[in-house]
Amino acid sequence: MSLVAGPLRNPRPVIVGAIFAASGTAFLVTAQGYEGGSALQMGPGYFPSLVAVLLVLIGLVNIGSAFRASEREGLRHIAWRPLLVIAAAVLVFSVLVTAAGLIAAIAGLVVVSLFATGIPSLRETLLLIVVVEIICLSIFHFLLGLQVPLVVS
Amino acid sequence: MDALHSLALGFQVASSPLNLFYCLIGVSLGTLIGILPGVGPLLTIAMLIPLTFGMPPESSVIMLAGIYYGASYGGSTAAILVNLPGEPSSVVTCIDGHQMARQGRGGVALAIAAIGSFVAGSIGTALIVLCAPILQQWVINFSPADYASLIFMALIATATLVQGSVLNGIGMALLGVLIGLVGMDPMTGASRFTFGSLDLMEGIDFVVVAIGVFAVAEIVQTLDEKESRPGEVAATGSIWPSLADLKASCLPILRGTGIGALFGVLPGTGPTISSIAAYFFERRIARDPSRFGHGAIEGVAAAESANNAAAQTGFIPTMTMGIPGSATMAMLLGALMMNGVNPGPNMIAQRPELFWGLIASMWIGNLMLLILNLPLIGMWVKILRVPYRWLFPAILVFSALGLYSLNLRAFDLYLMLGFGVGGYLLARLRCEPVPFIIGIILGPMLEEHFRRAMVISQGDPSVFVTSWLSLLFLVLSVLIVLLMTPRKRLRAEAAAA
């Protein structure tokens, strides 16, 4: 165990602890708006408050554990490109499915998501759109009869 | 014999043409995704749950369960032929299985894996038939305090035994419990944590979270990893094991089954841990341990029977007590709840066709896998060559469309995206999603029984320690945490050093 290891060398428990403590506090504060009741006659706020307090405690212990610095593993990197591209693809889908219909929404999702790792080739994109459209439309539209228009005019 | 009578009912349910069809779809799909690295049973079940909505609950659970145990068959095929574990539960199968394949004995390895899985599956089914009614009879007499403590223990055990630190696991489980409470309070009708949103009144649909963390977050994670290209596909050779092979595998299969059956019942452990444990146990007791790693058939036999046995016995706590021991079981339970089944100790009594139909279908499914898998090896190998960048857009479309089809509202998609992004970021901080998902399922159950216990005890919390069963569960929960914390810290320190 390293003696010089300060809190900054081990930021992970601090971040995780802060997330837990913050969400616990948010739930706790919100739950105060509900009737807490007594142990005998529990209101809707009683149990959530209890769990939220526990979560805050776990968060604080987590932050405290950072100062012991027994683990020295740093933060793992975050794959921003795939994350943002995938998020954008789902957003495109949810907008298109009401605005333009099922066919456009599926195509939109496929096209956007292919940018997650690089620039896709035109041939690959078109081929994939056709295959995914055929599979998904035959299952959701023809087999299950999903009540979403194929094309919104 | 009552159990035999019930089992007959089960076979009657499971062998109806419709359920046979769903079972076949489930196991084939399971094999398929088991072979594909990066696509696991959790993701597939999350993706398919919306499709099962409106199906008879027994058909839906028969199909979803088929995906689960079918995946372990598929995982072993990929492990043996191309040295890629299609599933984490097949990691140790690679070690000796692929060596066997390189020596031209791939077919024999596949056959032994299939036979071992089938034997383990059959014994697992028999164990369920024997144990489930006894366990259910025991649990049904639990007081609300006992049951609340049991749920608490299950929650703590899964949170503690998953990867990563104990604190992170417990924190994620508590967060899941809170998310599970969103919506209308079933006892008073007050709406909680909805912020006036009507969309949140009915609570956060479990499948929204599941698709978020198991499809979206998982896809981002996999895209970030280097794609492992399948190398040379080893020749299969003859699939007929010799008499000596069978003799050598016989005891390892039985020992693997025993280890797997035990780990399957415990919360937080499952097919992966049991296959690893069975493999190393086999190596330790072998007369000549140096053979392991160079194509020892015992290694394949033990590992593959262990993971299948664990996959079967994992159903025992889920179906008899309504308490899922793993994320997959939580998903199956979630699917049942969506189809109007109340989980809990009354499930077997109230829906015998559901429980026994599932059990019988697992045996039939294992038989289908045994017959189907070996002749289709050529096809499975071709599937292995489909690159992930063609798969993930299809998975994403399927998930989004399935989710949207449930309520036809974009709100579900935004919520799913929120959980996906949040789940990914938390996973990067070494907070695993599994306790979170189990918390969502168990949270409302825990609250219900906790409140009931407190009403019965007239507000006296000592009821949780005066009942000896409840006390036992609470003591066990504390013990699990105390035992695991230092052990994990040691491991983390060893890894960092």
User: Which amino acid belongs to residue B342?
Assistant: N
| pLDDT > 60? residue A71 | no
Digit-coded pLDDT (tens) for B260-297: 999 888 877 778 888 989 998 998 888 888 888 888 89
CB-based contact, B414 to chain A, within 8 Å: yes
Please enumerate in sequence order all residues whose Cβ is within 8 A of that of B193, keeping only pairs 6 or more positions apart, or say none: A27, A30, A31, A48, B178, B181, B182, B183, B200
Residue B405: closest CA among chain A residues belongs to which residue?
Answer: A146
Task: Quote ipTM for the complex.
Answer: 0.90
| pLDDT > 50? residue B403 | yes
Contact A61 B167 (CB under 8 A): yes
**What residues does each domain of chain B span?**
2-496
Q: What residues are paired with A102 via a beta bridge?
A: none
CB-based contact, A42 to chain B, within 8 Å: yes
CB-based contact, A95 to chain B, within 8 Å: yes
Q: What residues are paired with B183 via a beta bridge?
A: B192
Q: Which of B332, B331, B311 is nearest to B76 (CA)?
A: B311
| pLDDT > 50? residue B410 | yes
Please compute the mean of the pLDDT values over residues B208-213 and round it to a whole number.
Answer: 92
d(CA B163, CA B203): 29
| pLDDT > 70? residue B460 | yes
Contact B190 A72 (CB under 8 A): no
| pLDDT > 80? residue B172 | yes
| pLDDT > 60? residue B63 | yes
Digit-coded pLDDT (tens) for B357-395: 998 998 899 889 888 777 777 777 777 778 888 889 999
Please tell me which of the candidates B192, B404, B416 has its beta carbon nearest to residue A97: B404
d(CA B102, CA B83): 10
Classified as helix, coil or strand, B457 is coil
- Which chain B residues are closer than 8 Å to A106 by Cβ? 397, 401
Residue B188: closest CA among chain A residues belongs to which residue?
Answer: A44
Digit-coded pLDDT (tens) for A78-129: 889 999 999 999 999 999 998 999 999 999 999 999 998 888 899 999 999 9
Digit-coded pLDDT (tens) for B96-152: 988 888 888 888 898 899 899 889 988 998 888 888 888 888 888 889 999 999 999
Contact A35 B190 (CB under 8 A): yes
Q: Which of B204, B208, B328, B203 is nearest to B264 (CA)?
A: B328
Q: Which of B394, B30, B387 is nearest to A136 (CA)?
A: B394
Task: Work out the minimum CA distance from B453 to partner chain A, whole angstroms.
Answer: 10
Contact B447 A87 (CB under 8 A): no
- Which chain A residues are closer than 8 Å to B450 by Cβ? 47
Distances (CA, A) of A74 to A62, B222, B395, B428, B496: 16, 21, 32, 11, 10
Please enumerate in sequence order all residues whose Cβ is within 8 A of that of B472, keeping only pairs 6 or more positions apart, or say none: none
Q: What pLDDT shows up at residue A123?
A: 92
d(CA B496, CA A138): 51
Counted residue by residue, chain A has a size of 153
Task: Work out the minimum CA distance from A32 to partner chain B, whole angstroms.
Answer: 11
pTM of the complete model = 0.88
d(CA B490, CA B485): 9
Q: Which of B315, B260, B276, B321 is nearest to B138 (CA)?
A: B321
- Which chain B residues are closer than 8 Å to A45 by Cβ? 192
d(CA B147, CA B321): 9
Q: Which of A82, A84, A28 is nearest to A59 (CA)?
A: A28
CB-based contact, B194 to chain A, within 8 Å: no
CB-based contact, B151 to chain A, within 8 Å: no
Please tell me which of the candidates A116, A124, A132 has its beta carbon nearest to residue B397: A132
Digit-coded pLDDT (tens) for A114-126: 998 888 899 999 9
